[in-house]
Amino acid sequence: MMPLQVQSMPPPNCPKMCGDVAIPYPFGITGAQNCSFPGEDEQFAVDCNHDYNPPRPFNGDYEITGVVLEKGELNVSYRNVPHICYSSRYTFQQNWASFELHGFLISQTANKYTAVGCSTLAMIIGNNTMPYLAGCISSCFAEQDVAPDNSSCTGRGCCQSELTPGLSFLNVTWGDGNITNFAYSFKKADLEHNEDYFSSISIPLVLDWAIRSNGTCPLESGKTANPVVPYGACVSEHSYCVNVTTNGHSNGYLCNCSDGYNGNPYLHGHGGCEDINECDPSIYKEHYPCPGGSCHNLQGGYECKCNFGRRKDRNNSNSCQAVLSKPAIAVIVRLAIAIESAEALDYMHSSAGQKILHGDVKPGNILLDDKFTPKVSDFGISRLMSIEKQHTNFIVGDMNYIDPVYMKTGILTEKSDVYSFGVVLLELITRKKARYDGNNSLPINFVRYYMTHSTAKEMFDDEITSPEAIDCLDMIGKIAFQCLKDDVNERPTMKQVLVHLNLEQS
């Protein structure tokens, strides 16, 4: 059965709150034109009662405490608590209650009929597709017979009964008793309340709702089907239709947001089903969605990209497991040498009491111990400068590593060390000297390859080039390319170089 075509978008000026309670469409506050879903016998019309401070929303006799769109639930409270209070064996005060609903059903899964009392036969009379009668018995003849406080309702002071699905009408009655309530934790004191007590409390109740007067979903529906949008009330581009059944029979439909989206499926555009950024810490809280990798948000989902030295777990595409191939290990070692060397130069440039320009950064001045831990050495031609000073003169270093800008100007800056470090990075990933195969310049050839192809894979060391290592090598090559820029203002600082290298290691 196809749903009718309806205009299901409320005007933009419709109130979205009544006091502290959100009123999402298809519900809407009365007094504003067309703010609730049309038809449905005013089922979705909400009266915002301003006699209270803050105002409170009502649907008929029921005060609304919350709306759950995805489940099609309306949380309400009902003040007319059915009860019977005895002052003597034959003297009592009582209040009967009938729950008559229009367009709503009493939720079977979220409610439980509960009676509190001694020698109590608590009965409920209702109807769904046929008359319905159920109840429970609570017996206690003396105080010692009553269950302890906070115990479950098993017939000693209170009892409970499951409800049948599809109830739209319910009448509460008893042979003898005290109070009905919901989500109850037993307390002996509740057996001794007087009439005044019942005017101060209310019964929490959960009602089921759906779009009932507007047909059902198409034959292919649900989150795995190709969405037919807009479809009746499901107007959000990223929503789908869910049939509602009662006692095995179709009884309307609900709209849900597709996986990876959140919001109101009954609205299109802003406020409708919008992408969830699964990579946002406020969304994933303490459980990072991509362990061992980096999270990249996509429309309706996210993608995990594994960090260097890791690959996708075969059993979980959102988890990255360690890769222990020899090329990968070799690259990890070389990357660690680059990071620790960059840390030393960054400290010299920005963290020491005085800025230190090394002036002769090259592999020969980076010493390795037996664990491949680097030590930057040979400060014989280094220059001490105040942190505020930007350059110095008169440095003589290895011509294969010295900044060409310094060669032209005679002015040494921290960006000169950055250039030299870029050449060191190239040697780490290519296993070539700065001057190789006769008179070939490694930085000149690498930059030429990079500017032509946006990469220089052909120059990487074959011994460490592998599918799992290539992205890391590419990134180090990109950092080196930035360090070798002719314009010193376009070169990164050593601190920025260190940050990017650390990101690749993580």
d(CA 378, CA 345): 13
Tell the burial category of 170 from Cβ atoms under 10 Å away from its Cβ (0-12, 13-18, 19+): buried
Contact status, residue 353 vs residue 316, Cβ threshold 8 Å: no
Domain boundary among 274, 293, 311: 274
Query: How many structural domains comprise the chain?
Result: 4
pTM of the model: 0.63
Domain assignment present for 127? yes
Q: Are 86 and 145 found together in one domain?
A: yes
Q: Are 141 and 247 found together in one domain?
A: no
d(CA 447, CA 233): 58
Contact status, residue 29 vs residue 57, Cβ threshold 8 Å: yes
Q: Are 146 and 194 found together in one domain?
A: yes
Domain boundary among 170, 192, 208: 208
Give how far Cα 42 sits from Cα of 28, 102, 141, Å.
Answer: 10, 9, 48
Domain assignment present for 8? no
Q: Are 371 and 438 found together in one domain?
A: yes
- Beta-carbon contacts of 85 under 8 Å, excluding residues fewer than 6 positions away, are 92, 93, 94, 178, 193, 194, 195, 198
Domain boundary among 155, 175, 208: 208
Q: Are 372 and 492 found together in one domain?
A: yes
Contact status, residue 216 vs residue 252, Cβ threshold 8 Å: yes
Q: One digit per residue, pLDDT tens: the chain, 506 residues?
A: 444 454 457 888 889 999 999 999 999 998 767 889 886 667 899 999 999 999 999 998 889 999 999 999 999 988 777 777 666 655 556 666 677 787 889 898 888 888 887 777 888 888 766 778 888 888 887 667 777 877 778 888 888 888 888 888 888 876 644 433 333 444 555 555 555 555 667 788 899 999 987 678 876 655 655 555 567 889 998 999 999 887 777 788 999 999 999 999 999 888 999 999 999 988 887 788 888 888 999 999 999 988 776 778 878 888 887 765 666 668 888 999 999 999 999 998 887 667 888 888 999 888 888 888 899 887 655 555 444 444 444 455 578 898 999 888 888 899 999 999 999 999 999 999 999 988 899 999 999 988 888 777 889 988 888 887 888 899 999 999 999 999 999 999 999 999 999 887 76
Domain assignment present for 492? yes
Q: Are 310 and 358 found together in one domain?
A: no
Q: Are 472 and 413 found together in one domain?
A: yes
* Cα distance between the two ends of the chain: 55
Domain assignment present for 4? no
Q: Are 353 and 475 found together in one domain?
A: yes
CA angle 381, 383, 386 (to 5 degrees): 175
User: If residue 434 lies in a helix (H) or strand (E), which one and from where to where?
Assistant: none
Give how far Cα 12 sits from Cα of 19, 32, 48, 65, 274, Å.
Answer: 19, 11, 18, 24, 18
Q: Are 63 and 79 found together in one domain?
A: no
DSSP character string of 468-503: TTHHHHHHHHHHHHHHT-SSGGGSPPHHHHHHHHHH
As given in the structure block, the two tokens for residue 103 are 């367009």
Q: Are 313 and 358 found together in one domain?
A: no
Residue 471, by phi and psi: left (phi above 0), alpha (psi -120 to 50) or beta? alpha
Contact status, residue 135 vs residue 122, Cβ threshold 8 Å: yes
Q: Are 497 and 383 found together in one domain?
A: yes
Q: Which domain holds residue 285?
A: 281-322
